[in-house]
Structure 1
Amino acid sequence: MKKSKLSVLFFTFFALIASHFTQGQSLESNPRKVSLPKKENNASEQYITIDLQQTEENGITLNSFLNEHFLKSLEAYPKYLKSIPETYRNIPAHDSVYFFTAEWRTLNLNYQAYKSGDVTKKDLLELYKSQYKDTLGFTKQKYDNIAIYAVGFRKNKQFLIGDMNKNKDFGDDHLFEYDSNFRNTVEENTQILNTVKSSNYSYEIKIEEKKHHFNRKFILYPNVNNHWWPNIEPKKRGYFSLFSLSDYWKGEKTINGKTMNIAYLGYMNKYGKLYVKPKEIPSNLGEYGFDKQFLYNLNDSIVINNSLYVTDSVATDIAKVYLRKVKDVAKNYGTRIGSYLQDFEFQNLDNQTIATQNIITEKPFTLLEFWGTWCGPCVALTPELKKTQQEFASQLNMISIAVDQDAERVKKYVTKKKLNWTQGFIKQEIPRKNKILENLAIDSYPTLFLIDHKGRILYRGYSDSLESIKNIIRKLTKP
């Protein structure tokens, strides 16, 4: 598994949150849905089955929102927290230590807190009722111990360990250990995480009244950059750590004449994401966000060689994925590599209307950028964009569309930096309402598209993608 770069996560965080609450779907999926006919009235529908196998291969850059989460503090349960050193055996020798949980079954955690006296029976029953609608099954519910994690320091090392078999004994669990300063530099040293040996993690999920058991691989690692709790006191921030699944399911299938790499990311079959990418497109593992353009939700549409499919379902054991063919299409308009850019109009800095089709056809290639003066990585990219324009002056059109609060501010920046290519402006709004941004699934800044003169998307990338884009131009124009 390749770790995602987090260097521009801060700049995309608020855009992601706004989209989540205003659109009700991930920005990483194709926002254009199709109206599907009912199965019983459409006998011509074709279903394709793709077999998947569990793996830890470095095949794709996994999305951090799908495979990892911060460990949860237990300070809301002081009595339970105080009991841990007394009831857990073989806590590693330490100079200092804090205890956490990764418990996502809130009821299970609160039952343990009820036993320790941190939660009243009344509150526990209310919580149970909110999840199960009644309290009749409360006494029949099975409540397991929860996995407790110890994060501590000794000498110049930081250690992390979880009681993964929930036997209240750390002596039979895997210890993760890092240099004590790694927690402050993890975002610049994500490659180190690819060398960390993973450990085993098991869990059960009830799906359609049947329990399903999963055996997974995970690592623990420290990271002080927890954006969910920015105001925590510095002393405690040093203990912030992440639980990260290091495995996923992958397969390969030739569909409609094109070989596709397919993977599934998530904890269960209903709340994960499908990764569907033509095998011919290499995975740029060191490039932030490259692989997320190939992520789909269930019931999303996907075009493969001019045939429209729907990501229909995933088997409960995540061993199979099912795609459903809906119809053939004349042209694949979309936002991903290999699809065609739908022509659109935008306003330039003088409030004049510009059509993309009039620019794209002028030269063999067009670089389309979405950026903002407020965006650090965007501003840092400006000198490289100027060099790119100079290097490919006869071959490359450039369009930069600023998503910003004030057009005059953008105009001053463009004038000061002497950016003499086509400049556009979109009023920055939260929640996001602009159709151009919605249709192109713009969720990070900068976002870059390389497009050929026919409108086909040759590459989609972000702040560290410019060299890949230039290499494509060089390759395609090589005598």
Structure 2
Amino acid sequence: MKSIKNALIFIICLTATNTTIAQSFKKFAPKVAENARIKDELSLDDDVENVELYKNIPKDFVNFKSAYLYIDPVQGIYEKLMMETQQPERWEKFNKRFSVPDTLRIYDKKLLNNKLGVFYMLDKNQNATIVVDKNGNMDLSDDEIFKISTTANLNERKVNLDLPVKLYNASTNSVKDSLVALEMIIASKSAVPNSKEDVIIRFSNRKSLTAEIVSENFKYIFSWVPLLSANRKYLGSDLPLRVDIMDKKDSPISFRYQNVGDTMIIDNYRTIIKQYNGDQLILQTDKKEIEGYQVGQLFRPVNGIDIFNPDKKIDISSKKYLVFDFWGTWCAPCIAAMPELVALEEKYKKKADLISIVSDDRNNMELAKKIIKAQKLVWPQIWDERTNSSLTNALQIQFFPTMIVINKEREIVFITTKIKDLQAFLEKVE
């Protein structure tokens, strides 16, 4: 081994549940407490003995150094969520209310034995090379080689790694092959490093990738980053995922989601993470747009009844714009604004039709009828009883009056609480 020069080896060892396998490493591994978390930065001062355990090591490798990383066994995100140790905001999307993702059904997963060797080498020309024993067979003849940079220019470089791991699910008594996304950062201790002692390696729980996507809705994906959680207890290529997208309107969209198969809302379309294998991300977009309460989303169907014509079918299809006015008998500003609304309806009736949604308690319907007649409101008045399932609640109307304008495609195009703003909108549209 004396003839071999300028290299280091790092073994990333995922804590084994099999104590026999774990003990086999103790003879040449530093003493590290079991279930210790990943260190952000490695100390590379321990010589590795028994290097002969690795086959087909390039002859230029010398003076092996080692450090062992241990990762806690995976724990179910579901339990973490129930114990409120995982913040629900992790899954909130575009002001949506929190809901557990479709495939979030992980209960009792544990790591089986896995290890990964990462070899850092300086060749005779002082070029940096990394060889990764990704398949964990302790044979470097079938592994990837990463060319980094000359050490003279090595201020900080990154190598993306996918650690193959096996996860045991106690609830199904099954073993699953998975990947841990890891970003290895090779940085220098000094401005002009000239030896292996000047090089440090840091690990972060992410991997950045770029790709294009063909879609009616998205221009391209400019990056996606598989992330381990902040406390680094969750492993797997499907947990969790942050994706940055440029949509068809050149607007950047960033979202974070949980598992392959989950559904999210992007650009008002249902979008599914169809596949992710560490190097490829496939999103499938449902052409059906999403009903919601924001501009750009589709207005929900109206299921209430016409106060004066209970048997009349409510139709929100129109060749013109539709203006929905939300008011209640308890809302003094709503009633005060009604004369302006009457004038506006008369002025712009060729451009828009008006429908009022009366959000009120059941015992106030007769009072609502009196107000409607007194104010001479001639357009449809839809009763929307104040319940959890009401249209007003579904649209998250918080201020009264609120006016929502939709186009003939049922898309919400304008929302306001002021008559003058509604008038300005109707003035400029065709």
TM-score with structure 1 length normalisation? 0.35
Larger Rg: 2
Q: Compare the two structures and name the one with the higher helix fraction.
A: 1
**Which structure would you say has the larger RCO, counting Cα contacts within 8 Å and 6 or more residues apart?**
1
TM-score with structure 2 length normalisation? 0.38
